[in-house]
Amino acid sequence: MGLGDALRKAIDKIQGAGTVDKEAVKEAVKEIQRALISSNVDTQTVFDLSKKIEEKAFEEIKGEMTRREHIVKITYDSLVEMLGGKETPQAPKKILLCGLFGSGKTTGAGKLGLYYTKRGKKVAVIAGDVYRPAAYEQLETNAKQAGIDFFGIKGEKNAAKVVKEALKKLKGYDLLICDSAGRSALDNALVKEIKEIDGVFEAEEKWLVIGADIGNLAKKQAQAFHNAVGINGVIITRMDGSSKGGGALVACNETGASVYFISTGEKLNDFEAFDANRYLSRIMGYGDLEGLLEKAREAEIEQMSPEQMLSGNFNFRIFYEQLKATKKIGPLNKIAEMLGLSVKMPKEMLEMGEEKLEGFKVIIDSMTEKERLDPELLSRTRVERIAKGSGKKIEEVRELVKQFKTMKKMFKKFKGFANERTMKKMGERDLAKMMQQMQGKKAMKKFRLK
Ligand SMILES: Nc1nc2c(ncn2[C@@H]2O[C@H](COP(=O)(O)OP(=O)(O)OP(=O)(O)O)[C@@H](O)[C@H]2O)c(=O)[nH]1
Ligand SMILES: [Mg+2]
């Protein structure tokens, strides 16, 4: 049984238990422990996770969730947190790819190239695999497809030399990606070679490319590569197959590296930055958990006081949901009217067309999560990157930012007003209700940003 199935079984245990008492939680936690330990996750991590779940299982429940739902939710959240790790680097300078035969390094080099090119980087790949027949041509073709530059020396048998020449030739690039020969990692000659490449290339990013289907072999391989060059990132490939990558998690555990990307097919576009939440729901086959998590999110919003809702955390996520909601009923104007405020939503916001809203979504999707939550980060270079990444004009991104600022101002006014008078006059619950309407709960349910 794979890791995903085993975790799923643990959660099913809670969902299927007659009564959800301490015993039932203990049983489920045991199941999770077994699943993780048989995937070679280290015992301290497993222990911490178990403790967290047991502690939180019987805390106060938010909103209308049942105890059962609450426990499923906190279990899921704890697992996401365990996998979370670091955010995918947005501006690496040199990446050395290593890994087993056929794990997906050469295609991965092209995929990475495309990913970073879309984000405005100038990228070149280096043919560091001098063994595999036609590795040169394969990478060259990949590079062409991805629209990135390629460097290799045909017939050269010394990989370190290729890299050395590449560094001399490739000037003015934001990112250089070096492919390397597939190896079993236990072969001394090949380990020596990757060390040599590493010595010349001096990449700050050394990523292990590992198939989701590697299973028990993962630990040994990861360790060997880690000892040779020091792995600090992982790309999981073949996530489109039936295996769900338990082994790859072990690799992270073994090297202390985070998963940065997953590959889901043979095409250059079948590639995405790793998102712990999505990964977990994928390996656990959890279409049905979505609804539950949504319910929990709503419960959180319901629990918020108007002040919390209006507190300084206005960001692009909320902004987008607001726009969607506003399009339907224009609640901001209505509320403003009721409160006797002079603020008005600009007409262009109220009458925004589907197409424009869709465009805004694409732009917001191209932001990093940090930028979405902290709009202050949007410097000129970031705006340019986002425009490039989303295939939109810089003016469109600027317009989005401008509208965002307008709406933020309105939020501030509401906030001030809520603090001064409304609380006394209207009572907290009425206002909370209105704010919920503003949050556009229905729209949120149907539509969620990546
Ligand atoms: N289905 C699927 N196939 C993949 C994925 N990633 C790579 N492949 C395929 O796996 C095969 C091997 O990929 P390569 O990129 O050549 O692997 P490599 O690590 O460079 O292999 P060596 O150079 O021999 O070590 C190719 O046919 C790829 O198209 C993936 O995520 N899903
Ligand atoms: Mg290769």
The answer to whether residue 290 sits within a structural domain is no
Same domain for 211 and 128, yes or no, is yes
Gap between the Cα atoms of 411 and 293, Å rounded: 27
User: Quick check: is 292 in a domain?
Assistant: no
Query: How many domains is the chain built from?
Result: 3
In a domain, 299, yes or no: no
> How many Cβ atoms are within 10 Å of 47's Cβ, its own excluded?
11
Q: Which residues have CB under 8 Å from 185's CB, separation 6+? A: 100, 191, 220, 221, 224, 225, 228
Least confident of 42-56, 71-85, 142-156, 380-394: 71-85
Q: What is the mean pLDDT of residues 429-442?
A: 49
CATH classification of the domain holding 379: 1.10.260.30
Give the β-pairing of 258-263 and 271-273. antiparallel
Domain that holds residue 162: 94-273
What are the backbone dihedrals phi and psi of residue 276, each rounded to the nearest 5 degrees, phi first? Answer: -55, -40
Clarify whether residues 208 and 107 are in a common domain.
yes
Which is the closest atom of ligand 1 to the Cα of 100? 25
Atom in ligand 1 nearest the alpha carbon of residue 239: 31
Distance separating alpha carbons of residues 384 and 360, to the nearest angstrom: 15
Residue 295 lies in a domain: no
Q: Is residue 284 assigned to a domain?
A: no
- As a whole number, mean pLDDT of residues 88-116 equals 95
Cβ atoms within 10 Å of 35's Cβ, excluding its own: 22
Summarize pLDDT for 229-283 with one digit per residue, the tens. 999 999 999 988 766 666 677 777 777 788 899 998 999 999 988 877 777 776 7
Distance CA 395, CA 27 (A): 56
For the cut 50, the answer to whether the pLDDT of residue 197 exceeds it is yes
User: Same domain for 232 and 171?
Assistant: yes
Same domain, yes or no: 229 and 105: yes
From 137, 183, 237, mutation site for ligand 1 pocket: most ligand atoms within 8 A of C-beta: 237
Same domain, 254 and 138: yes
Do residues 207 and 255 both lie within one domain?
A: yes
Six-digit token pair at 56?
A: 């939180």
d(CA 300, CA 303) in angstroms, rounded, equals: 5
Cα 251 to averaged position of ligand 1 atoms, centre (Å): 18
Torsion of CA 136, 142, 146, 147, to 10 degrees: 40
Q: Of 273, 295, 323, which marks where a domain is finished? A: 273
Token pair belonging to 9: 């079984």
Percent of the chain whose predicted confidence (pLDDT) is above 70: 72
The kind and range of the H/E element at 192 are: helix 188-201
Instruction: Give the model confidence (pLDDT) of 387-425 as tens digits.
Output: 998 889 999 998 888 888 777 776 666 656 555 544 444
CA of 154 to the centre of ligand 1 (A): 21
Amino acid at 2: G
Q: Same domain, yes or no, for 193 and 248? A: yes
pLDDT at site 306: 45
> Do 21 and 164 fall within a single domain?
no
* Token code pair at residue 105: 């390094």
Identify which has the larger pLDDT, 150 or 306.
150
DSSP per-residue string spanning 138-178: HHHHHHHHHT-EEE--TT---HHHHHHHHHHH--S-SEEEE
**14 within a domain of the structure (yes/no):** yes
Split at pLDDT 50, 70, 90, the class of 350 is low
Rg (CA), the chain: 25
Q: Is residue 89 part of a domain?
A: no
Report pLDDT for 202: 97
Q: Is 210 helix (H, G, I), strand (E, B) or coil?
A: strand
Residue nearest to atom 31 of ligand 1 (CA): 238
Residue 256 sits in the same domain as residue 369: no
- Pocket residues: Cβ below 6 A from ligand 1: 99, 101-108, 129, 132, 135, 182, 209, 237-238, 240, 263-266
pLDDT of residue 185: 66
Mean pLDDT of the chain: 78
Characterise 208 by phi-psi region: left (phi > 0), alpha (psi -120 to 50), beta (else): beta
* Residue 226 or 428, more confident: 226
| Residue among 416, 443, 417 nearest 338 (CA) | 417
Is there a single domain that holds both residue 155 and residue 77? no
Output the domain CATH number for residue 52: 1.20.120.140
How many of the other CB atoms lie within 10 Å of CB of 273? 17
CATH number at residue 237: 3.40.50.300
Last residue of a domain, which of 257, 273, 289? 273
What sign does the CA torsion over 4, 29, 80, 255 have?
negative
Q: In this structure, which ligand is nearest to the CA of 145? A: 1
Examine the domain organization and report whether 40 and 181 are in the same domain.
Answer: no
Lowest mean pLDDT: which of 137-141, 194-198, 258-262, 405-409? 405-409
**DSSP at 273:** E
* Minimal-distance CA residue to ligand 1 atom 14: 104
Closest listed residue to residue 326, CA positions, set 404, 226, 393, 221 = 404
Do 158 and 242 lie in a common domain? yes
Is residue 214 packed enough to be buried (19+ CB in 10 Å), middle (13-18) or exposed (0-12)? Answer: buried
Q: Using an 8 Å Cβ cutoff, are 84 and 167 in contact? A: no
328 part of a folded domain: yes
Q: Which of 107, 138, 194, 259 to mutate to test the pocket of ligand 1 (most atoms within 8 A of CB)?
A: 107
Conformational region of residue 21, where left means phi above 0, alpha means psi within -120 to 50, and beta covers everything else: beta
Closest Cα to residue 305, out of 436, 417, 425, 408?
436
Final residue in a domain of this structure, among 50, 84, 118: 84
